[in-house]
Amino acid sequence: MGKRDRLAQLLERTGALRLALGARGRLGSPWLTVLTYHRVAAKGSEGLFDAGTIDVTPDAFERELAFLKRWFDVIGMDDLLAYRRGGKLPGNPVLVTFDDGYLDNHAVALPLLREAGLRATFFIATSYVEERRLFWWDHVSYLLKSSKKDAVDLTYPAAQHLPLGPTVEASIVRALRTIKDHFDLDLPRFLGEMAQAADVSLDREGERRLTEKLLMTWDEVRELRALGMDVQSHTGAHRVLQTQPLDVLRKDLTSAREKLEEVLGERVQTVAYPVGKPIRSDHERREVVRSAGYELGFSYGTGVNLLGRLDPFDVRRFAADLDVTPELFRARMALPYI
Ligand SMILES: [Zn+2]
C-alpha cells in the first residue's frame, strides 16, 4: 500500500474526510473538479484491445456516483458555459466526463447515471464513430496482440524493434508513444506497416466488425443527448494537438464540431484535447481552438481548477484510474492535492 493510500485511510478513520467534505459543501469549494473516464468495464475484459482505457469497473462507477451525489453538486456543460460568461456555479461543483465514444458509455455508464439522477458529458472522436474505425491505440493493441510473430520491426518513422509475447504490453506503450509524440506522423502508413510486419490482416470490413463491439453509433450518441447527457467534441482524428500542423488541426477541429452539430441538431462549444496535453502557453494552438468555434478546451491528468482562475482553454481534469482505492478516490475528491 502506498503512502497516499495510508493517508487516505487515516483521513477516513479519523473523520477528517467527512469534516473536509462537509466544509466544502457548507462554505463553498475553491475548486471545480472535472473527472474523466474512458471505459466502464470489468478489469481485464479488454481482450485484444488496449488495456489502459478501462479506468473504472461498473461497481466502482456506481459507488463513485453515489458519493458525488451525496457530497457534491454535479453540474452540466451548460452550467460551466454559463459560468464562463459570468454566471454562478453551485457551491461544490463537479463535472463528470467521458472521452472517446466507447459503447460501454451507452450500455453501462448511461443506465447508472440515470439511476443516480446525474449528468455527464461525453466527448466523442467523430471520425471513428462516423467511419467505424478502431481508435489508433486499440488498433495498435489489436495488431500486436494478434500477431503470431516473436517481434515486430518497423522502419517508419524510425527503426523500432517491438518484442511480442510476454513483453507485448511494453511494446504497445512504445508504439503508442510514437503516435503521441511524432510531429505530423502519417498514421495510416504507420499502422499499415505495423500490420504487415506483424503479419496480421485487418481489412475495412474486419475493422468495421470489430468496432461494433467497441464504439457507439450515432444513434447511441443521439440517445445520450436525448436522455439529458451532454455530448461534445474530442476532435475528429484524435491526434495530439501539438503533433499537428496548424492548418490540419484547424480543419479537424472545425469538421468535428460541424459533424456533431449536424448529428445533434444543436451548437457544440467545447472540446477535450486528445491525450490531454495542455496548450496553456501555446498561443497559436489556443487561437486555432478558439477560431474553430470552441469556448472551452479540456486537458487531462492536470488536476483541479481554482475557481476564479479558470483558464478556458486549459480546463483541468482528473484522470480516473482502475487502481485507485475507494478511500483514495474519496480523499482526492475532498482534498485534491493529496
Ligand atoms: Zn481520447
Q: What percent of the chain has pLDDT over 90?
A: 85
> What separation in Å is there between the alpha carbon of 187 and the centre of ligand 1?
16
pTM for the structure as a whole: 0.96
Ligand 1 centroid – CA 184 distance (Å): 18
* Amino acid at position 258, single letter: E
Per-residue pLDDT at 206 exceeds 80:
yes
Rounded distance from Cα 238 to ligand 1 centre (Å): 7
Residues 6+ apart with CB under 8 A from 94: 32, 33, 34, 35, 68, 72, 73, 74, 75, 333
CA 75/CA 90 separation, integer angstroms: 8
In tens, the pLDDT along 268-322 reads: 999 999 999 999 999 999 999 999 999 999 999 899 999 988 999 999 999 999 9
Rounded distance from Cα 274 to ligand 1 centre (Å) = 5
pLDDT band for position 161 (50/70/90)?
very high
What pLDDT was estimated at residue 15?
84
How far, in Å, is the centroid of ligand 1 from the Cα of 1? 29
CA–centroid distance, residue 239 to ligand 1 (Å): 9
- What's the pLDDT score for residue 337? 77
Ligand 1 centroid vs 226 CA: distance in angstroms?
A: 23
Structure confidence by residue, pLDDT tens digits, 49-88: 999 999 999 999 999 999 999 999 999 999 999 999 999 9
Q: How many angstroms is it from 163 CA to the middle of ligand 1?
A: 26
pLDDT at 42: 97
Whole-number Å distance, alpha carbon 87 to ligand 1 midpoint, is: 29
| Confidence label for 105 from pLDDT (cuts 50, 70 and 90) | very high
Residue pair 13/331 in contact (Cβ under 8 Å)? The answer is no
Q: What is the pLDDT of residue 28?
A: 83
Question: How far does residue 301's CA lie from ligand 1's centre (Å)?
Answer: 12
The beta strand positions in 200-284, using DSSP E, are: 230-233, 270-272
pLDDT band for 19, please (50, 70, 90 cuts): confident
Number of CB atoms found within 10 A of residue 113's CB: 23
Task: Compute the distance from residue 7 Cα to the ligand 1 centre, in Å.
Answer: 31
